[in-house]
Amino acid sequence: MASPFGELTVLVNPHAGRRHVGEEIPELERNLQSRGLAYRLVRTEGPGDATRLAREALRSARADGGARRRDPSGA
């Protein structure tokens, strides 16, 4: 099942949770792939990365027409 929103951007801090989040990344990717979801996994590397990367992802989605895909009902 593809996402009605297009490619997902997944931001991950691999150092969070005493690095347990980093250990779970392969499982996350397996789950996304098994559902047939297109995704881009982006790892944060330092303070402020998540905020910056989220803004970049939103800008990119809008530039690609993603803002128009937000409501799958077409409303």
In the predicted model, is pLDDT for residue 69 greater than 90?
no
Residue 42, helix vs strand vs coil: strand
Residue count (the chain):
75
Q: What is the pLDDT of residues 19-36, one digit of tens each?
A: 899 999 999 999 999 999
CA distance linking residue 5 with residue 50, whole number of Å: 20
Report domain extents, the chain: 8-69
22 exposure class (CB count in 10 Å sphere: 0-12, 13-18, 19+): middle
Cα 60 from Cα 66, distance rounded (Å): 8
What pLDDT does residue 33 have?
95
Q: Output the average pLDDT for the chain.
A: 85
